[in-house]
Chains A and B, each alone.
Chain A
Amino acid sequence: MKVLRFGSILIIALSFVVSAYAHHNAAGVDQSKTVTLEGTVKEFKWANPHSYLEIEVQNSKGVAEIWNLEMMPPLYLVNAGWKSNTVKFGDKVKFTARPMKNGDPGGLFVSITLADGKTLGQTAPRGGAAPAPPVYKP
């Protein structure tokens, strides 16, 4: 019985490992892997509580498929140097993601490398230490 109870507590403890900052869990994502692919940006949504990217990638059979990438909120992206217009429709990019376990195209966004070679990730604003966003100058 003690073993069972310990097992239950262990399961609860393990459940913390999934990303704490998302408003939901990372069901179906293989957190132990990353993939890096090249493709063309179809859509970039700058939104709370999650931004997302859709990138068209030619798969190994030469068929185009859309990779749906779940991202952190804009505050995390701003901390990592993003703006809402950092990527746009048609941009050629390279990206790294934690993929879906079942092989569906998509997963959790890790980083992107833009055509100019610049690489951007996402950075937590933990503890309120986030720098103020730059002042907008038209």
Chain B
Amino acid sequence: MEKPLIGRVGMAVLVVMSMLFAASNLAAQFQPPGTLGVLAPDNIAKPRPKAPFDLTGTWLHMSGESERFDPPAGFKLTPQAQKHYDAAAAATKEGKVYRNDIGLCWPAGVPIMMTRVWPIQMIQLPTSIFMISELMNSLRIVYTDGRGHTDPDIVVRSFNGESIGHWEGDTLVIDTTNFRDDHHWIQDRAGIPASDALHVVERIRMQNQGKRLEIEFTLTDPKSWVGDWKLTKHWDRVDTRDIAEVECLPDLNEHMPSVHSPDNIR
């Protein structure tokens, strides 16, 4: 039986609409329609002031400096963060470990992703900086092409958040928001969680003729703690290292006795 013409036209319109919708969903970063991506040659070629330094290289968090983002003296947590902190303190007292999420293959996320003992390779373009940590090949893209943050109502929240960078004199300032909360920690050993209200501002300077990076972090998270936490950390350029594929695989983790020890408090 022949379908009525209006039905066939309606079906065709539906198919085309759904294809257009699917295509628009392929964009991981929500940008206004027609906005150039950071790797678009026309975006890279746009006239911009010359960057004061180039992060391109392999960086390793400085030996001897704590890899952890510890709270300042006299810190005050919110009640919901305090519950985790107390549980972690109780676990530590018993020689146990609270919520070993990174060991269970959850991404470390920003800021912890920056201070693993695994190197980070950075590639700087006029529009963006790609940072790839060797550990779990975690990717962080810093957008420096002038865009702003994505509308928080449509953004897909992530462990590394959304990083927008700009230059202030000899300093690169990166503003990162739009984090996800669950399984994301500021200080994982101490049980201090990051929430979806986490806001990280990094002021990055190059030192020692381009051989050392200094990052001054300002961390705020009104759902987890009161006020600003400021920490400064350093990275050394390591020209003798490259990075490889490093995935946290379930079958490999099964062979790690410490991951499956009953001393892990989930």
Checking A23, A26, A52, A70 against B135 with a beta-carbon cut-off of 8 angstroms, the contacting residue is A23
Query: B102 within 8 Å of A by Cβ?
Result: yes
Checking A5, A25, A108 against B74 with a beta-carbon cut-off of 8 angstroms, the contacting residue is A5
**Could you tell me how many residues of chain B have their Cβ less than 8 Å away from some Cβ of chain A?**
50
> Is chain B's interface secondary structure helix, strand, loop, or mixed overall?
loop
Checking A22, A28, A45, A128 against B263 with a beta-carbon cut-off of 8 angstroms, the contacting residue is A28
Checking B67, B96, B136, B240 against A20 with a beta-carbon cut-off of 8 angstroms, the contacting residue is B67
Taken together as a complex, chains A and B put the C-alpha atoms of A24 and B92 apart, in Å, by 15
Query: A8 within 8 Å of B by Cβ?
Result: yes
Q: Which residues of B contact A23 (CB under 8 A)?
A: 102-103, 116, 118, 135-136, 248
Chain A, interface size: which category? Answer: 35 or more
Cβ contact within 8 Å between A26 and B190: no
Per-residue B-contact encoding for A6-30, CB less than 8 Å = 1, 0 else: 0011011011101011111111110
Q: Which of B48-56, B159-167, B219-227, B253-261 lies at the binding interface?
A: B253-261
Query: A48 within 8 Å of B by Cβ?
Result: yes
Cβ contact within 8 Å between A29 and B258: yes
Cβ contact within 8 Å between A45 and B252: yes
Q: Give the distance to chain B from A95, nearest Cβ to Cβ, in Å.
A: 14
Q: How many inter-chain contacts with C-beta < 8 Å in the A-B complex?
A: 124
Taken together as a complex, chains A and B put the C-alpha atoms of A22 and B257 apart, in Å, by 13
Cβ contact within 8 Å between A100 and B257: yes
A30 nearest in chain B by CB position: B95
Query: A39 within 8 Å of B by Cβ?
Result: no
B101 nearest in chain A by CB position: A24
Cβ contact within 8 Å between A108 and B189: no
Cβ contact within 8 Å between A9 and B73: yes
Query: B1 within 8 Å of A by Cβ?
Result: no
Which residues of B approach A to under 8 Å, CB–CB?
A: 58, 60, 63, 66-68, 70, 73-74, 85, 89, 92-93, 95-97, 100, 102-104, 116-119, 135-136, 187, 189-190, 236, 238-241, 244-249, 252, 255-259, 261-264
Provide a sorted-by-A list of 22 A–B residue pairs whose CB atoms are within 8 angstroms: A8-B89, A15-B68, A15-B92, A18-B189, A20-B67, A22-B258, A23-B103, A23-B135, A23-B248, A24-B102, A24-B104, A25-B100, A27-B97, A27-B263, A27-B264, A28-B258, A45-B255, A52-B252, A125-B241, A128-B236, A128-B239, A130-B241
Which residues of A approach B to under 8 Å, CB–CB?
A: 5, 8-9, 11-12, 14-16, 18, 20-29, 45, 47-50, 52, 54, 68, 70, 73, 100-102, 104, 106-108, 125-130, 132
